[in-house]
Amino acid sequence: MPDTFDLAVVGGGVLGLAHALAAARSGRRVVVVDREGRANGASVRMPGIVGVTGQPSGAAWRRAKRSRDVWADVAAQASVRIEHEGLAIVARRPEAASALEAFMATEMGEDCTLYTAEDGHALFPQFKGAMSAVFWSPHELRVEAKSAMPKIAAWLAEAHDVAFRWETAVTAIEGTRLTTSRGTIEAEAIVVCPGDDFRSLFGETLAKAGLVRAKSHMLRVRPEEGFELPGAVATDLSLIRLPGFAELPEASALRARLETEQPEHLAHGVALIATQSADDTLVLGASRQVDATPDPFQTQAIDELILEEFAAVFGKRPKAVLSRWTGTYAFNPERPVVVEAPAPNVRVVVAASGAGATGAFAIGEETIADLFGKG
């Protein structure tokens, strides 16, 4: 006899868990199926920033805010530590300060502050390099992704009776039946959250979604004794990458200057993001190389570009690099969230923005409301 559920979720990454939570909260019996022994994709390789500021304006920004609130609630209930809150963007150039001034005039500038260089140096003594301004957003949360994911899965199992089938690949879906590498599962509704595997299930549907894969370099480093970040930290490079800033006309002058002054960073999609963990180590990223099949190599020269930007802000390099890794994620800047309905009871959901963890819990609520109705 196959197992029978109201909802089967394929994929135990953050997007799959978010769908499982939304369905379980609406009283559904849920199973999550993943071919790995635990989440091991983008959801544990990311720095874990639940970012609101920098999301595209409008619906995506509001979705990020809603999702951040659910993240805060989930973190409290699943014993996931919030490592730090807020985001500082160090404007190294006057053009970056101008883009930030323009951002402050939008609705997304709500509750954010733009400090002069003088005030910024006084408030954030960690920033030793030359700068034109410092922007502070209070909205962001940061979790340690690699430990947060198993904790959330364990909490879903315990508190919401969500069943998990790890080490189980789903090879076909027909009607209400999932064929897996370990027998069959029956579910009234099915949500597929395959991360950057757009080929194994509903490959024809996803081939039309314009998805590619983006590869990113990450490093864990040891800073000087006593070094403390105020929150997540980014620089000018993020202002031409994060859509909420990049879409502003004022970002053009900054882009032009960066093309002249940091062409190597731009060529490898490098934008510094620095975060800190409970053991005081820092997680640094990130690069972005887009390809159908990203190569598996972590090129030292790209890591150097990340470390160089770190030194430009903090005045020196970290004491030691402790580990390095790469991660890949689905990417389509034109469709940051891909939702397909290949059958009335099936949804395929891919976060394709490079910020899928941020919006995940709100996306999960939207899909479940769409599948089962809001009641």
Ligand X SMILES: Cc1cc2nc3c(=O)[nH]c(=O)nc-3n(C[C@H](O)[C@H](O)[C@H](O)COP(=O)(O)OP(=O)(O)OC[C@H]3O[C@@H](n4cnc5c(N)ncnc54)[C@H](O)[C@@H]3O)c2cc1C
Binding interface with ligand X (CB under 6 A): 10-16, 33-36, 39, 41-43, 45-49, 51, 169-170, 193-197, 200-201, 216, 218, 285-286, 327-329, 351, 354-358
| 71 vs 103 by CB, closer to ligand X | 71
CA separation for the pair 42, 20 (Å, rounded)? 18
Q: Whole-angstrom Cα distance, residue 197 to residue 219?
A: 24
Complex with ligand X: residue 200 or 253, whichever CB lies closer: 200
Report how far residue 359's alpha carbon sits from residue 336's, in angstroms, rounded to the nearest whole number: 10
Q: Residue 56 is inside which H or E element, if any?
A: none
Nearest to ligand X of 9, 133 (CB atom): 9
Q: Tell the smallest beta-carbon distance from residue 146 to ligand X (Å).
A: 11
Please state the closest distance from residue 98 (CB atom) to ligand X, in A. 26
In the complex, the smallest distance separating the C-beta of residue 317 from ligand X, rounded to whole angstroms, is 21
The helix (run of H) or strand (run of E) holding residue 137 is strand 133-143
Q: In the complex, what is the shortest distance from the CB of residue 171 to ligand X, in angstroms, rounded to a whole number? A: 7
Closer residue to ligand X (CB): 14 or 80: 14
- Most distant CA pair in the chain: distance in Å? 70
CB of 94 to ligand X, least distance (A): 28
Bond prior to 286 in cis (omega within 30° of 0): yes
Report how far residue 273's alpha carbon sits from residue 306's, in angstroms, rounded to the nearest whole number. Answer: 9
Output the smallest distance, CB 165 to ligand X, in A. 9
Dihedral angle, C-alpha 263, 268, 272, 275, nearest 10 °: -170
| Closest CB to ligand X among residues 20, 97 | 20
Q: Which residues does residue 217 pair with via DSSP β-bridges, in sequence order?
A: 326
- Indicate the residue among 89 and 357 with the shorter CB distance to ligand X: 357
For ligand X, the closer CB: 93 or 241: 241
With respect to ligand X, which residue has the nearer C-beta, 223 or 359? Answer: 359
| Shorter beta-carbon distance to ligand X: residue 35 or 92 | 35
Structure tokens at 104: 């402050």
Closest separation between CB of residue 50 and ligand X, Å?
6
Separation of first and last alpha carbons in the chain: 30
- Return the amino acid letter for 354: G
Minimum distance of ligand X from residue 328's CB (angstroms)? 6
Spell out the residues 6+ positions from residue 192 whose beta carbon is closer than 8 angstroms to its own.
9, 10, 11, 170, 173, 201, 202, 346, 347, 348, 349
- Give the burial class of 173: count Cβ atoms within 10 A of its Cβ; 0-12 exposed, 13-18 middle, 19 or more buried: buried
Beta carbon of residue 113, minimum distance to ligand X (angstroms, whole number): 22
User: For 104, phi and psi rounded to 5 degrees?
Assistant: -60, -25
> How many beta carbons lie within 10 A of that of residue 132, not counting itself?
18
